[in-house]
Structure 1
């Protein structure tokens, strides 16, 4: 399991009971025992892959956990339906449950980052009995809304979400594919200059301006050149699926309304939220909402770290999450921490 070599991981592609074919990495510890080994299921965000967990898989397997990391629907080697209705949180949650069924895992530790964070928080509502613990990376908990709030209304409240209006448009597929290298350099860049004109890509209309500008992004940011090349190979002419998640706002609201979801995960579920202090996604108000709705949550704020916590502070993530699990789960997993 070499992070620099994607082929060194154990890859599988299987048809789930939901009718969708998923690619995933399934890594077993040397002392694997289906009766006692705990499984960690890792759900990535945008724009990412199973590969987003490359620095976590081996350390956690070495601690005795089974680690499963799928490409979400629309990504990498997983099926890529054309229509956005297939990408709702209920359907993705059902896919996660079906993947666990396929692997004969009744309950697991479920971890998500970015969009994956939102999906696993909904998995905790749609399939509450399938979790041993819930770990949220970078994105605080957002409860189901009692009333429909359009994306336009959300952007009025939070202008930095303006890029989501852009992502919602089908024309964005071709625009990003045309500038794919620049887009990934922009997304994974190191944000040292808070006044950089590149920061305005999050504002309404800003992404088109940045992608079509003469702004030069020479380095690959948090990615090594090998990692960057792998991402390029996986996303070439393949942005419709990833962007479809931004086209599900009304579908998700209707599902949650019809499903009568609870406002928060079950009260006895161990929950950890890890956030980089330099990540604009997690403001103080959002953290307070999480604390109010999930009183048992443990929140870790990491100085000098932004959005890509699995890479930016990989050692902290690799050690902190198993420590949290060790402290909250009665487990037969022997760890080195």
Structure 2
């Protein structure tokens, strides 16, 4: 880990914290999810840098040591993609390989949709591409399909989820998220709250250490969760702003990976979308699809060696 260099770079009007390992080969840009940081990619950065790649993992807007504008209106996909294009410009990179997970995957789809000229190929994990429905906003659709207790719907009210999470030790919150292996819909009634039982005891799996948990918890203790939650709160705004790209396909080479226990893979309609032609229709350059058995949502941390190899096997072709 001592080989990782940390810098602050001014991008798109904010200061972005960037973790990087130098390399003479092509650059790989990693995008993390919620509630994570650049740190989620530590295994992949070290592995690919050992093969000569230049590996780059920022704390995205709202996370870690990167600036966190207070308004959810500053977290649309146009803002986040703008940050990343500005980052590539600042680093002097015309093109990169892109790797995303969770919200990072969601953003990665939009980077490829809006600026495919900057991406050599994409390896995306957990969150499948979701084509824009021109008839209904995403939060309205989720309320109709999954109810008001669906976690994304519950995240919408500013301050509410933060207040519930604050009732529980931050390290326990991180453990609950990262170790969850329930593949069904995540519904959180208000009487239960996002923090759940503050006295819960969670045994960590072999792939997650107390030091790992403390790295995340220390950061989120300092920043709170609002920055990450604002991505969910800007979903309808992103829908409005991306109207001109309705129906546009993802036109970069893609490898998609997901665990069969991932809650996103088990969301109603997603398996059919992936396996019955919808995914290929919207992502016509999908070259590889990997369903990892017995693996849950945080795939790149749970199975780092396998994920490392999958990424390398794909990007080495370009």
Scaled by the length of structure 1, the TM-score of the pair is: 0.85
Partner of 2:213: 228
* RMSD (Å) for aligned C-alpha atoms: 2.2
**Superposed displacement of residue 250, structure 1:** 1.9
Q: 2:192 aligns with which of 208, 224, 236?
A: 208
Partner of 1:240: 226
SS at match of 1:168: coil
Distance 2:138 2:303 in 1: 34
SS at match of 1:61: helix
Structure 2: 5+ residue stretches without partners: none
8 A contact 1:42–1:112 mirrored in 2: yes
8 A contact 1:165–1:204 mirrored in 2: no
Structure 1: 5+ residue stretches without partners: 2-6, 330-337
8 A contact 2:19–2:38 mirrored in 1: yes
Distance 2:274 2:178 in 1: 24
Distance 2:27 2:95 in 1: 8
Distance 1:110 1:138 in 2: 14
Partner of 1:285: 272
Partner of 1:70: 58
Distance 1:164 1:99, change over 3 A: same
SS at match of 1:208: coil
- The 5 Å alignment of 1:22-33 reads 22-29=16-23, 32=24
Deviations 1:229-288 (A, max 9, x none): 11110001511101101101221111101x33552212xx21010111111202412314
**Superposed displacement of residue 215, structure 1:** 6.0
8 A contact 1:125–1:261 mirrored in 2: no
- The 5 Å alignment of 1:43-62 reads 43-62=31-50
Scaled by the length of structure 2, the TM-score of the pair is: 0.90
1:41 matched to 2:24? The reply is: no
Partner of 2:285: 296
Partner of 2:301: 311
Distance 1:185 1:145 in 2: 34
- Structure 1 outlier segments of 4+, above 6 Å: none
